[in-house]
Amino acid sequence: MKLLDTGPLIYFLHGAKSLQSRTRSLLEKERDSLAVSAVSIFEIRSKALRGTWRAVQKYAHTDMTPFLEERNITILPLTGEIADRAADFTGGHGDPFDRFILATAWKHRCDFVSEDEALDRFAWDGYNRIW
């Protein structure tokens, strides 16, 4: 399973050129094994409603759960175990969204699709960041 960080999720949904062509090809080929953290839904909607991320403005009033499910993207829940692990990922990385999403990848042993190289410092055995 491939867990998409929020940015790559939006790039993939929009067909944005900022998603590398080899990454896009891989995601298209493995479309039935894509997942996101429930935290990404919160990040998208909250940034859309606040107007802090132009690329997600159109999702301000979208119920993201059925939207993603219609596209066969699995939504992985935030659990207490994931929250505990995210707290371990604090050393020098200030974005709590990213830490929760990374901890979701850890919990489910997913390949992690993200452009954020800074998250590599929290790698575990079997960690694989794709970008």
Backbone angles phi, psi at 12, to 5 degrees: -65, -45
pLDDT in the model for residue 19: 81
pLDDT in the model for residue 22: 87
What is the mean predicted confidence (pLDDT) over 17-39? Answer: 91
Whole-prediction pTM value?
Answer: 0.93
The hierarchical CATH code for the domain 2-130 is 3.40.50.1010
pLDDT in the model for residue 43: 97
- What percent of the chain clears pLDDT 90, i.e. is strictly above it? 88
Nearest-5° Cα angle at 81, 75 to 86: 85
CA 45 vs. chain centroid, Å, equals: 14
pLDDT in the model for residue 48: 96
The C-alpha atoms of residue 23 and residue 19 are separated, in whole angstroms, by 7
The C-alpha atoms of residue 3 and residue 110 are separated, in whole angstroms, by 6
